[in-house]
Chain A
Amino acid sequence: MDEIKDIVLQYIIAEYIEEGADKISYDTPLISGGIIDSFSMVSLKRFLENKYKISIPDNKSTPEAFDSVNKICVLIREFVK
Chain B
Amino acid sequence: MAYSDKVRNIYMEQLNGIREAGIFKQERFIHSSQAADIEVEFPSGAALKKVINMCANNYLGLSSHPEVVKAAHEGLDTRGYGMSSVRFICGTQDIHRELERKVTEFLGTEDTILFPSCMDANAGVFEALLAEQDVVISDRLVHASIIDGIRLCKAMRDIFKHSDMKHLESKLQLHADKRFKMVITDGVFSMDGDTAKLDVMVALCEKYDALLLVDDSHASGFIGSTGRGTHEKYGVLGKIDIITTTFGKGLGGASGGCVSGRRELVEMCRQKARPYLFSNTIAPVVVSGVLRVLDILSASTERRDKLEKNTEFWRKGLTETGFILKEGDTPIIPVMLFNAKLSQDVSRALYDEGIYAIGFFFPVVPQGQARIRTQISAGHEIHHLEKALDAFTKVGKKFNILHKTEQEITEMYGT
Contacts and interface: CB of A to CB of B under 8 A. Distances in A.
B184 to A, nearest CB: 11
Contacts of B156: 42, 46
Q: Which 9 A-B pairs have the closest CB atoms?
A: A43-B158, A39-B157, A39-B159, A42-B157, A42-B156, A40-B159, A42-B158, A46-B174, A18-B161
Contacts of B167: 15
Among A15, A39, A46, A50, residue most surrounded by chain B Cβ atoms (within 10 Å): A39
Interface string B121-156: 000000000000000001000000001001000001
A47 interface: yes
> Which of B158, B167, B175 gathers the greatest number of chain A CB atoms within 10 Å?
B158
16 contacts: A15-B167, A39-B138, A39-B147, A39-B150, A39-B158, A39-B159, A40-B158, A42-B156, A43-B157, A43-B158, A43-B171, A46-B156, A46-B158, A46-B174, A46-B175, A50-B174
Interface string A37-57: 001101100110010000000
Contacts of A46: 156, 158, 174-175
Contacts of B175: 46
Interface in A18-74: 18, 39-40, 42-43, 46-47, 50
Most buried by B among A15, A40, A47: A15
A39 B137 CA distance: 10
Nearest to B157: A39
A7 to B, nearest CB: 15
Main secondary structure of the interface of A (DSSP, over half): helix
A59 B147 CA distance: 23
A18 B157 CA distance: 20
Nearest to A36: B159
A9 to B, nearest CB: 18
A18 B167 CA distance: 12
Contacts of A40: 158-159
A43 B161 contact: no
B264 to A, nearest CB: 27
Contact of B174 (A18, A39, A43): A43
Contacts of B159: 39-40, 43
Interface string B158-197: 1101000001000100110000000000000000000000
B159 to A, nearest CB: 5
Interface string B7-31: 0000000000000000000000000
Contacts of A50: 174
Nearest to A44: B158
Contacts of B138: 39
A50 B174 CA distance: 9
Nearest to A40: B159
Nearest to A50: B174
Contacts of A39: 138, 147, 150, 157-159
B151 to A, nearest CB: 9
